Amino acid sequence: MHGEYKTPGGKLVAVDLEVVEDRLQDVMVSGDFFLYPEEALTSVTASLEGLGVDLTEAEIAERVRMALPRGAELLGSSPEAIGAAVRRALAGGAGADGD
């Protein structure tokens, strides 16, 4: 499954994932945003692995926020944008129009 979200005034976030037994698996987060340090992407991805498909966009965003290491900077995007991209993937890949 694939979902995208363009942060208004920001960058594109894309999420690819599989669903197995109502849980997210094989999650990959990508896009044209910046994350410093780059290694923090591993923490973000790990925070999404195993999540239930019934979580809301806000709940997913909170998991991502909590997973960001202290001092990490997400530039041009946000945990909310990642949450939106995940929900879009689960809904069948709705577009990247930022709404």
CATH number of the domain at 48, please. 3.30.390.50
The mean of the pLDDT values for the chain is 92
Question: Is residue 74 domain-resident?
Answer: yes
Question: Is residue 64 domain-resident?
Answer: yes
The pLDDT of residue 9: 85
Question: Is residue 41 domain-resident?
Answer: yes
Evaluate if residue 61 carries a pLDDT over 90. yes
Evaluate if residue 42 carries a pLDDT over 90. yes
The pLDDT of residue 99: 46
Question: Is residue 99 domain-resident?
Answer: no
| CB-facing half-sphere around the CA of 81: CA atoms within 13 A | 24
The pLDDT of residue 83: 97
Residue 47 structural domain: 2-90
Alpha-carbon distances of 44 from 49, 86, 97, 99, rounded to whole Å:
9, 12, 23, 23
| Dihedral sign computed on CA atoms, order 69, 74, 77, 78 | positive
Looking at the structure of the chain, the number of domains it has is 1
The pLDDT of residue 98: 47
SS3 content of the chain, % helix, strand, coil (to 5): 30, 30, 35
The pLDDT of residue 93: 59
- The mean per-residue pLDDT over the stretch 51-63 comes to 97
Question: Is residue 7 domain-resident?
Answer: yes
Question: In 3D, which of 74, 1, 19 has the Cα closest to residue 41?
Answer: 74
- The mean per-residue pLDDT over the stretch 74-86 comes to 95
Question: Is residue 98 domain-resident?
Answer: no
Which comes out higher in pLDDT, residue 96 or 2? 2
Q: Is the pTM of this model over 0.95?
A: no
Determine the distance from the C-alpha atom of residue 84 to the mean position of all C-alpha atoms in its chain, rounded to a whole number. Answer: 7
